[in-house]
Amino acid sequence: MTVFSLDPAQTAWCEELRTLAEERLRPLAEKGGPGHVNRPLLAALGELGLLGRLFGSGALDLCLLRESLARGCTEAETALALQGLGASPIVQAGTAAQRERWLPQVRAGRAVAAFALSESGAGSDAAALSLAADRTSDGWRLTGGKCWISNAPEADFYTVFARTTQGAGARGVTAFLVPADRPGLTGTALDMLSPHPLGTLDFDGVPVTADDLLGEPDRGFRVAMNTLNLFRPSVGAFAVGMARAALDATLDHTSVRTAFGGPLRDLQAVSHQVAEMATRTEAARLLVYAAAAAHDAGEPGVPRRAAMAKLYATETAQYVVDAAVQLHGARALRRGHLLEHLYREVRAPRIYEGASEVQRTIIAKELYARPTQEPSV
């Protein structure tokens, strides 16, 4: 296999996933309420063995999984991805006891995970977080707040990033595993454009001990960034899945919808628009695969390639979904239409896990940091 193609087994698996998403997972998703954790959907993802594929199978496998699910059921894709994002720090830096306690529950869809990094004043500038972890005789107490946290306040545990050393920037951040039933931990749901659950968390002297550490004190920012480097290409895969779903719908619609004496596809303005949508989607898809393969191979430049994949794929998906809505006309704006749903879903990925502007900053920083090369003759 090269990064530019999939072997027959991978292609068959992707089609199987898409069918599962459409036939088994979408009905469960439709029964759930927007803005709330859909536990029956998570349980089904666990029963199908899909949550187990989140851990240990590599970034490319994760991208194929997210893209395929997104084509058939975005809610299922997001539920799966949030489990991975919240639990990946445990896989990466957790103790044997933490792994034994939580990972089987996550894989089965019985425990809901959440990744608690962002704050109201520390979103794109994640190193500026201010949730305080103050030393006590037996550990720390967490005081402050988190905002824009997916699965909050309904998660069963949170991977929380707090400041243990003031004035140290990224070097003074520590990662903790905090069960939702800890005293002093409360949360509030936010009413957002995107349908998945999102909320705030309030920490009023929440106690944590050395047993709750994920990795070493003051080394938690690396845990966060390693998690994001794994998941950023797969955010791009989610976006590609949405773009492909919008493109599929557009091909069907423009083939049967008639105007000016024939199907829409016979109009050059329409066919050229569809060609542009398809070309950008394929380019995004290949960029995502290349970034994921580079991550799995341990190649240099992974942060830059992950940033490129997320940036281009999410911006492309926004373009493709918007163009699909335009070609469908008013019918695409009706509540419940696939494209109305995708139009709401596609906006958030350009912001979360590092906004597009942050991705451009990462890319430029890495480009300018390259070793000086002799000019070619």
156 and 56 assigned to the same domain: no
Residue 374 has pLDDT above 50, yes or no: no
87 and 55 assigned to the same domain: yes
CB hemisphere CA count around 4 (13 angstroms): 1
Instruction: Output the pLDDT for position 122.
Output: 82
- Number of domains composing the chain: 3
322 within domain boundaries:
yes
229 within domain boundaries:
yes
DSSP code, position 53: G
CA distance linking residue 320 with residue 35, whole number of Å:
25
Q: Are 96 and 104 in contact (CB under 8 A)?
A: no
pLDDT band for position 371 (cuts 50, 70, 90): low
Q: Are 211 and 259 in contact (CB under 8 A)?
A: no
CA distance linking residue 363 with residue 342, whole number of Å:
28
183 and 274 assigned to the same domain: no
262 and 310 assigned to the same domain: yes
- CATH number for position 182: 2.40.110.10
Domain boundary among the residues 76, 108, 140 is at 108
229 and 200 assigned to the same domain: no
Residue 173 has pLDDT above 70, yes or no: yes
Mean pLDDT of 85-96: 96
Q: Which residue has the tokens 């890319």?
A: 363
Domain boundary among the residues 108, 130, 161 is at 108
Residue 230 has pLDDT above 90, yes or no: no
350 within domain boundaries:
yes
Residue 39 has pLDDT above 80, yes or no: yes
2 within domain boundaries:
no
pLDDT band for position 271 (cuts 50, 70, 90): very high
CA distance linking residue 164 with residue 171, whole number of Å:
9
Residue 372 has pLDDT above 60, yes or no: no
377 within domain boundaries:
no
Residue 366 makes CB contacts below 8 A (sequence gap 6+) with: 301, 303, 304, 307
CA distance linking residue 339 with residue 152, whole number of Å:
27
CA distance linking residue 131 with residue 146, whole number of Å:
7
248 and 349 assigned to the same domain: yes
91 within domain boundaries:
yes
The domain of 271 spans 222-368
- Is the pTM higher than 0.85? The answer reads yes
Which one is catalytic: 47, 353, 357, 374? 353
127 and 141 assigned to the same domain: yes
Residue 241 tokens read as 């899945």
Active site residue 353: yes
- CATH number for position 60: 1.10.540.10
373 within domain boundaries:
no
CA distance linking residue 67 with residue 286, whole number of Å:
12
Residue 351 has pLDDT above 60, yes or no: yes
Dihedral of alpha carbons 139, 145, 147, 153, sign:
positive
Instruction: Decide: helix, strand or coil at residue 303.
Output: helix
145 within domain boundaries:
yes
- Using CA atoms, how far residue 180 sits from 26, 185, 186, 203, 275, in Å, is 28, 7, 8, 11, 48
94 and 50 assigned to the same domain: yes
Instruction: Output the pLDDT for position 4.
Output: 62
97 and 153 assigned to the same domain: no
> pLDDT (tens digit, 9 = 90+) per residue, 40-65?
999 999 999 999 998 877 899 999 99
The runs of H, that is alpha helices, within the chain are 8-20, 26-31, 39-47, 59-72, 74-93, 96-108, 220-256, 268-297, 302-328, 338-345, 356-368
212 and 325 assigned to the same domain: no
- CATH number for position 252: 1.20.140.10
332 and 352 assigned to the same domain: yes
Domain boundary among the residues 170, 186, 218 is at 218
60 and 148 assigned to the same domain: no
